[in-house]
């Protein structure tokens, strides 16, 4: 787990001493990702720079790492969990190794197998390999997008790649040099809660998409999708169900086993839910002294500390907790936004930041339960097609009439959203797990493009689901793999843990686990009564009974109450100080804030907190990266190499 930065030029005259110096200075933005070692290497066409967080082969495997008599140089962010097995296979094929780490396995595999090495990698990764003989580059990003990789083209024609966008902003000369705010990305962000790949909030910076590899030759970037997730369309016979549950349990246990591979201490996050509890229980098998960590709030109904503590006691691990206050939120937000690079309007990332900071005092690596919901059908919204089945049988005219009726019902009235959603097809109503501003709500945008739609993000995804013959539940999961998972869940997981120089590993997002999850029929994923049905059955002998059927909460945040009370004045100050008049009608935002406070005080079901939070996060982001008015104090990273 590290921070990489690469500059690739088409002209040998471009890699001058000042360019190497610029890259080295930009690398300092990524110091939190790898405080253990820093190095910059260059030749006449490339500059490769690296900050290392030493996890495997702590005293060896320096990067940029040379291979094949210095033919190749590789910079790699992530972990390859099957590196011992690949190493043995490569040695049998004639490869030699000078280190004991996983980085050299990647480049040796590329030397022998070419681009075919990527699908054989079991892990999380983004990497760039520079071939000094052919003067070409090859790289890839892991199947699900656990590890980020940004790219941009500089004014001199050179291509740059980085683990975080802020390093590219340094090389581009700031927000203006990066093309300024992308109006389309802002509109999609307000709709989706994040900026969808491959875009970013800056016009001139994009992302290498998850599950793709790429080549750079003569300055031209070409990408290829190597990962195509598939789900089954056939049911499982009753006699096949228990063997399926057994395969799930075995695959997950094996994934946790290899995810525990490290030369430093590995801990685990633990909420009150089944996913993190399962990971911690399995990890305990491989580390009897496992430490677990959770976060919560003082407000009743919004804290999982008690349930997590009960789970920790049941599985026999030492447990550490962190309580977060509204004041903690307000104080940390500018710094958290700086770490994020792009705005992500998920309040849960802030408590995750705090629990990561606490965990880093004790361990260097943590396991977590991200990805279980997307793979096994864990979100309650996945049950919606079952509840809307009656609408599917209605004539089109009746459905349209019910949709028209919903528009005349007051906001917050029970049944309003059910009628609205039941009256429209899946592609129009489902665009990922978050739904913030709808088209009719975007009047606060100064540049609202009515031709732009969430369908621009999901259209091709739905075309693939139709071609595959997927039912509506499976289509929703498929869409989330390419939207919600990589746009929200994994962005916050990477950025706020790396902010604390802490490596986060996600055993559910293992190709071998997906290989089994991809065989679970829809009736074993969701039912009218529950979600993740097959996974729950598989974990009956692994997690404590009080967790097995518990409703999903994650790290819930009392944002509705805070924005109406403890954070109301802070939020008003953020809006008033923001210089975002070019993008947003601040008067409307302030009116929303007042309406939210009044609704909450009156006990109204109308809740504007998620929309308000999205606007506030964008305003803070704009203050940090565009106005440069907000300059958070970046804490020093002084963690030891070993922990």
Binding residues, by number, are: 102, 295, 368-369
- CA pair distance 258, 235, nearest whole angstrom: 31
User: Which residues lie across from 40 on neighbouring strands?
Assistant: 49
- CA pair distance 271, 237, nearest whole angstrom: 34
Strand order in the sheet with 291-296: 318-323, 291-296, 266-269, 365-367, 503-505
Interacting residues of 460 by C-beta distance below 8 A, sequence separation 6+ = none
In three-state form (DSSP H/G/I as H, E/B as E, the rest C), the secondary structure along 513-552 is HHHHHCCCCHHHCCCCCCCCHHHHHHCCCCCCHHHHCCCC
Gyration radius of the chain over CA positions: 24
Q: What is the dihedral of CA 326, 327, 329, 331, to 10 degrees?
A: 170
- CA pair distance 7, 43, nearest whole angstrom: 11
Listing DSSP states for 225-290 in one string gives E--------S---HHHHHHHHHHHHHHHHHHHHHHT--SS-EEEE--SSHHHHHHHHHHHHH-TT-
Strand order in the sheet with 159-162: 37-42, 46-52, 2-8, 159-162, 150-153, 205-207
- Residue 237, Cβ density class (10 Å: 0-12 exposed, 13-18 middle, ≥19 buried): exposed
Q: Are 217 and 507 in contact (CB under 8 A)?
A: no
Q: How many CB atoms lie within 10 A of CB 612?
A: 24
CA 168 to the chain's CA centroid: 20
Joined tokens for residue 610 = 């998620």
Catalytic residue among 1, 2, 128, 355, which?
2
Among the listed residues 552, 242, 501, 208, the one whose alpha carbon sits nearest the alpha carbon of residue 370: 552
Q: Are 231 and 477 in contact (CB under 8 A)?
A: yes
Task: Name the helix (H) or strand (E) containing 8.
Answer: strand 2-8
- Residue 334, Cβ density class (10 Å: 0-12 exposed, 13-18 middle, ≥19 buried): middle
Q: Which residues are annotated as a binding site for L-glutamine?
A: 102
Helix pair 305-315, 274-286: axis angle to 10 deg: 30
Q: Which residues are annotated as a binding site for ATP?
A: 295, 368-369
- CA pair distance 369, 517, nearest whole angstrom: 15
Among the listed residues 328, 260, 335, the one whose alpha carbon sits nearest the alpha carbon of residue 617: 335
Residue 29 a catalytic site member: no
Among the listed residues 146, 52, 164, the one whose alpha carbon sits nearest the alpha carbon of residue 101: 52
Joined tokens for residue 639 = 């963690």
- Active site residues per annotation: 2
């Amino acid at each position: 787990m590290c921070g990489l930065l690469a500059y690739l030029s088409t002209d040998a005259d471009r890699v001058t001493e000042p360019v190497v110096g610029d890259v080295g200075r930009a690398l300092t933005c990524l110091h939190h990702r790898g405080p253990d070692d820093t190095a910059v290497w260059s030749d006449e066409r490339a500059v490769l720079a690296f900050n290392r967080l030493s996890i495997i082969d702590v005293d060896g495997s320096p990067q940029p790492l040379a291979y094949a008599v210095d033919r190749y140089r590789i910079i790699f962010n992530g972990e390859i969990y099957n590196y011992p097995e690949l190493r043995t296979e490569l040695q049998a094929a004639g490869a030699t190794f000078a280190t004991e780490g996983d980085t050299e396995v990647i480049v040796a595999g590329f030397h022998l197998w070419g681009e075919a090495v990527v699908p054989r990698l079991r892990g999380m990764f983004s990497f760039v390999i520079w071939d000094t003989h052919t003067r070409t580059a090859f790289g890839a990003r892991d199947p699900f997008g656990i590890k980020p990789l940004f790219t941009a083209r500089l004014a001199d024609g050179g291509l740059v790649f980085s683990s975080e966008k802020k390093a590219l902003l340094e090389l581009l000369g700031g927000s203006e040099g990066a093309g300024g705010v992308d109006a389309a990305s802002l509109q999609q962000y307000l709709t989706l809660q994040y900026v969808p790949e491959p875009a970013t909030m800056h016009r001139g910076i994009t992302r290498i998409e998850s599950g793709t590899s790429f080549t750079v030759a003569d300055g031209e970037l070409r990408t290829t999708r190597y990962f195509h997730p598939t789900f089954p369309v056939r049911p499982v016979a009753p006699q096949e169900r228990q063997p399926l549950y057994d395969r799930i349990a075995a695959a997950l246990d094996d994934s946790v086993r290899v995810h525990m591979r490290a030369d430093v201490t590995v801990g685990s996050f633990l909420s009150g839910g089944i996913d993190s509890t399962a990971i911690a229980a399995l990890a305990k098998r491989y580390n009897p002294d496992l430490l677990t960590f959770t976060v919560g709030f003082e407000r009743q109904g919004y804290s999982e500390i008690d349930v997590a503590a009960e789970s920790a006691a049941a599985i026999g691990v030492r447990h550490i907790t962190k309580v977060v206050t509204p004041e903690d939120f307000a104080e940390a937000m500018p710094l958290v936004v700086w770490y994020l690079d792009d705005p992500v309007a998920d309040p849960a990332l802030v408590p995750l930041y705090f629990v990561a900071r606490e965990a880093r005092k004790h361990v260097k690596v943590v396991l977590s339960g991200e990805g279980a919901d997307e793979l096994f059908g864990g979100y309650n919204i996945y049950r919606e097609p079952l509840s809307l089945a009656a609408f599917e049988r209605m004539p089109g005219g009746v459905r349209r009439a019910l949709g028209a009726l919903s528009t005349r019902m007051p906001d917050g009235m029970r049944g309003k959203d059910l009628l609205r959603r039941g009256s429209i097809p899946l592609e129009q109503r489902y665009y990922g797990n978050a739904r913030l501003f709808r088209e009719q709500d975007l009047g606060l945008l100064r540049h609202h493009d009515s031709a732009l739609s969430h369908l621009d993000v999901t259209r091709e995804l739905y075309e693939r689901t139709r071609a595959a013959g997927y039912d509506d539940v499976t289509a929703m999961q498929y869409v989330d793999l390419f939207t919600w998972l990589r746009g929200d869940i994994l962005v916050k997981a990477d950025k706020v843990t790396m902010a604390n120089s802490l490596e986060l590993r996600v055993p559910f997002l293992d190709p071998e686990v997906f290989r089994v999850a991809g065989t679970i029929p829809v009736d074993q994923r969701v039912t009218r009564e529950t979600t993740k049905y097959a996974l729950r059955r598989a974990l009956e002998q692994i997690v404590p009974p009080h967790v097995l059927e518990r409703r999903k909460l994650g790290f819930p945040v009392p944002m509705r109450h805070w924005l109406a009370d403890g954070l109301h004045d802070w939020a008003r100050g953020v809006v008033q100080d923001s210089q975002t008049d070019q993008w947003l009608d601040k008067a409307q935002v302030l009116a929303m804030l007042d309406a939210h406070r009044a609704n909450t005080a009156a006990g109204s079901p109308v809740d504007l907190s998620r929309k308000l939070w999205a606007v506030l996060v964008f305003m803070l982001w704009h203050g940090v990266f565009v106005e440069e008015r907000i300059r958070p104090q970046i804490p020093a990273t002084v963690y030891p190499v070993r922990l």
